[in-house]
Amino acid sequence: MPSAPPLSSLRDTYTHATGDRRPEPLGRRHDDLCAVRSPSGHPAPSSSGRWWSPQQLDKLVEGNASCPHDHYYQAAADGGPSSGPPSGSIPVAVPVAVPADSDPIFFTDEQMPVYSTPPPPSVAEASFDGFEGVSSSDPLLHMDESGEELLNFLTTWNTRPRQTIRVHGYHEEERRRYETREDDEGRTFEEVVYYMEHVTDFDYHIDISHFIFPFGYVCAADDDDEGVTVPDVIQEFLQQDHPLKELVMEKTINDFDFFALEAMIEGYLRSQGWYRGLSVSFPRANHKVRVWKRSCISNFWENPCGKVLCYLSLVGCCVVHCLKCRHRNTGVISEYRIDYHPLQVFETIKGQLWCPGLGEQILSSVLSSFW
C-alpha cells in the first residue's frame, strides 16, 4: 500500500477553487466505464456493512494471507485503458502439488477460505473479457458437483480491480465546409455549412489501483436472502438447467467518495488557469469474473458475429433477451475499499496533474480563428 501524508496535516483548498477566467459552460462527461457514472445526480458513497472483522484484518495486514497473482494487471501494465483492453486466452496454470501448510487460516462468514500459502491456482481455461475482466466456459467448472473447482476459480481471479483517473480537457471550435447542393431546377451550387467540432487539448490517465486494499471480501450478491453463503450460490448455479445461465462475481469499491476527489482535481486544474471544457472520470477495469455454460444458444450469443446477426435480425435478439429475462442469474460480490481519504489520494497524485496554461489557451483560440 502506498504511503500518504497524515490527514490531520492536510487542508482542502481546491474543491471550489477557480481561475482568473470563468470556465466555459461545456458540461461534464463521464465514461461508460466510470466507477461513479450515474444517469441522475450524485449518489452517496455506497456502504453495505459487509467487511473483514478487526481480527481478520489484523491477520491480513500482518502478512499472514497471500494474494493471488494478478494476470489481468500484468497484461494491462504497459498502458492505460486508452491503449486497449487485454484480449485473447489466458495461459492455463500448470498443476502443482498442494503445499503442506495449505489449510485456510480462517473462513469468512460467507464461508470463503483465506490462505497463508497460495493454493494451487485454478487450471480452468479462461479468457480476457475486455475491460470487464475475465470469463470462462470450461466444462471443468461444471463437472465438479461439489463446487470446489468453481470456488477455486473465483479465488484465483479475486484480484483487486484496476481503477484509474481520466483527466480530459477539450473545447469546441466552429468549422466550415462546402457542400454541393441541387436546386429545384437541377442546377448544382456550393453552400457553406458551419458546424461545431469537439477538439481534445489533453487526455491522460493516472492509475490509483495501488490505493485499493488488496483483499476483496466475497459475499452473496442477493441481500434479501440472509444467511446465504458463497458455496450456496455456487450450488444454486450448478443445479440450474438453463442454456444461458451465468455466475458473475462483480468487484466493487465501497465507502470512497469519488466525487470529492473529482472536485479537488477540477478545482486544482481551474486554479492553474484551465478555463475550457474539463472532464474528470474514473474508468475501471478487471471488475467482473464471469462463468457461463456452453450450449448451442450461448455459443452463438457469445460469438461476436452471432451477436451482430441477432441484433440485425431483431427476432434472434428478442428470443435471447426473453430467455435471459426468464432466467435468474446468480452472482457474488467482491467488495474492496480504498482506506484513504480523498484528500490523501489527491495530495499523493497532485504532482501528476497538468494542463496547458492560460497563455497557451488564448494563443490557441486566436490561431483557431484563422482556421
- Domains of the chain, by residue range, sit at 14-91+99-163+205-368
Residue 191 DSSP one-character state = E
Lowest mean pLDDT among 21-25, 55-59, 69-73, 306-310: 306-310
Buried b (16+ CB within 10 A) or exposed e, 116-129: bebbebbbbebebb
Nearest-angstrom CA–CA distance, 147 and 233? 10
The pairing of beta strand 288-292 with beta strand 217-220 = unpaired
pLDDT digits (tens, 9 = 90+) for 139-177: 888 888 888 999 999 988 999 999 999 999 998 888 888
Nearest-angstrom CA–CA distance, 319 and 325? 10
Higher pLDDT, 33 or 272: 272
Nearest-angstrom CA–CA distance, 67 and 117? 9
Predicted confidence at residue 192, as pLDDT, reads 86
Predicted confidence at residue 4, as pLDDT, reads 85
Instruction: Return the H-helix or E-strand segment holding 193.
Output: strand 188-207
Number of H helices, E strands in the chain: 11, 13
Predicted confidence at residue 42, as pLDDT, reads 44
235: which 3 cell numbers? Answer: 450450488
Higher pLDDT, 353 or 39: 353
Predicted confidence at residue 313, as pLDDT, reads 64
Residue 46 DSSP one-character state = P
For the cut 50, the answer to whether the pLDDT of residue 281 exceeds it is: yes
For the cut 80, the answer to whether the pLDDT of residue 366 exceeds it is: no
Lowest mean pLDDT among 146-150, 189-193, 323-327, 350-354: 323-327
For the cut 80, the answer to whether the pLDDT of residue 257 exceeds it is: yes
pLDDT digits (tens, 9 = 90+) for 212-256: 999 999 998 876 667 788 999 999 888 888 777 889 999 999 889
pLDDT digits (tens, 9 = 90+) for 2-16: 888 888 888 888 887
Higher pLDDT, 69 or 347: 347
Give the confidence band of 348 by pLDDT, cuts at 50, 70, 90. very high
Instruction: Work out the mean pLDDT of the chain and round it to a whole number.
Output: 79
Predicted confidence at residue 66, as pLDDT, reads 73
Single-letter residue type at 134: V
Predicted confidence at residue 327, as pLDDT, reads 47
For the cut 90, the answer to whether the pLDDT of residue 337 exceeds it is: yes
Higher pLDDT, 83 or 233: 233
Higher pLDDT, 42 or 252: 252
Nearest-angstrom CA–CA distance, 237 and 115? 25
Sheet with 126-128: strands ordered across: 89-90, 126-128, 133-136, 288-292, 246-254, 330-337, 217-220
Single-letter residue type at 271: S
Nearest-angstrom CA–CA distance, 329 and 327? 6
Top mean pLDDT of 18-32, 199-213, 323-337 is at: 199-213
